[in-house]
Amino acid sequence: MKYSTADGAPELPEVTGAIEREIQRLDESQIASGQTAHEIESLSLVEDYLGDLATKIDFKAIASAGLRIVYDPLWGTGRGYLNKALADIGCEVVMLHDWRDVYFGGHSPEPDEEYLHEMRERVVEGGYHLGVSTDGDADRFGIMDRDGSFISPNLVVALLVDYLAESRGWTDAVARSVATTHLIDRVAAKRGTRVYETPVGFKFIGQLITENKIGIGGEESAGLSIRGHIPEKDGILACLLVAEMVAKRGVSVREMAEQIYKEVGKLVSGRIGVRLTPELQQVLPEKLATGPLDFGGRRIKTVSRVDGAKFILEDGSWLLMRPSGTEPLVRIYAEASNEQELEVLLESGRKYILGESR
């Protein structure tokens, strides 16, 4: 279950923890007897929601550019929202999986590259400008460029930080989770803005939006929101911001990425999971508390313990080790200047956790 406040923000751990403790305190009979009948009201929020988006998205620019877009809601709740917003302004929108399927096609409804093969085919074969996707509850996004290349959420967030500073003149600080690309930091430095680093979980970014401290916040797991919007991730908003960015800049997302790399340097991110035996679970806290002297021959410059243990290396690359809260697993995130160095870091992290020779 998720608990959100009246403004749409996910509540912070101190409140959800108190709710969990209260549930544990009550026995089943008390919970059942405490329920009262409430009248159920059905209503459509489509027009209100799209009307609000119109104050945050330059739909006129999207319409003028004549964008042709493929949208895959993955059988989820984005149906009737994102496609309607684009169709209402005259955009050509091709819909995939536009029906209810409680099994989501037999796989997880995540807008990740491995699940977007059909969208890639339609974008490339039809010569569309963009492919966009949202997950089952439409709070996360997936972006595919006109050539069929999947654009990582890390890169999308960094590009939108740059675009919103350029198009809106925003000088607000930006936020990212501890596991999210430092490309955002480089773009923010170029634009003269501050970066907040938060623990993993959009609720921490949402709190900064609520407090009016940031203009945009994002995370590598494809969550994003902006100031003035609900302080919760919104995949529909993110997809429309990308469409606006493509429309106003008049180039592909890949071309924008190459330009950013020229300006601030390229960074490549990745992550792996390492399963833990009971023995490894016992020694993990000590491993994360101490850490090695180096990873892949790169010495450690600083360590951040915002969430897990994040080792910042002397060359600017980094590696984060963070235990899963739901299963015996350590997630290892890393970022380097190229794919080869990234693989070295991830493998070094894996060997450290498993206690193998390095």
Instruction: Supply the pLDDT for residue 30.
Output: 60
Instruction: Supply the pLDDT for residue 113.
Output: 96
- d(Cα 253, Cα 273) in Å, to the nearest integer? 29
| pLDDT at 31 exceeding the cut of 70 | no
Q: What is the pLDDT of residues 274-310, one digit of tens each?
A: 999 999 999 999 999 988 888 988 999 999 999 999 9
Q: What is the pLDDT of residues 82-136, one digit of tens each?
A: 999 999 999 999 999 999 999 999 999 999 999 999 999 999 999 999 999 999 9
Mean pLDDT across 338-348: 96
Domains of the chain from N-terminus onward = 1-34 (no CATH), 46-264 (3.40.120.10), 268-354 (3.30.310.50)
* Res. 325 pLDDT band, cuts 50 70 90: confident
Give Rg (Cα) of the chain: 22
Instruction: Supply the pLDDT for residue 28.
Output: 62
Angle 278-290/339-354 helices, nearest 10 degrees? 120
**Mean pLDDT of the chain, nearest integer:** 93
Residue with the bigger pLDDT between 142 and 14: it is 142
Instruction: Supply the pLDDT for residue 24.
Output: 84
- Calculate what percentage of the chain has a pLDDT beyond 70: 96
Mean pLDDT across 168-186: 97
Mean pLDDT across 36-64: 91
**Contacts within 8 Å (CB) and 24+ apart, 121-125:** 121/148, 122/70, 122/94, 122/96, 123/70, 123/148, 124/148
pTM of the model: 0.92
- d(Cα 212, Cα 321) in Å, to the nearest integer? 30
Instruction: Supply the pLDDT for residue 12.
Output: 83
Mean pLDDT across 153-160: 98
Instruction: Supply the pLDDT for residue 37.
Output: 63
Angle 46-53/235-249 helices, nearest 10 degrees? 40
Best CA proximity match to 247, nearest among 4, 58, 26: 58
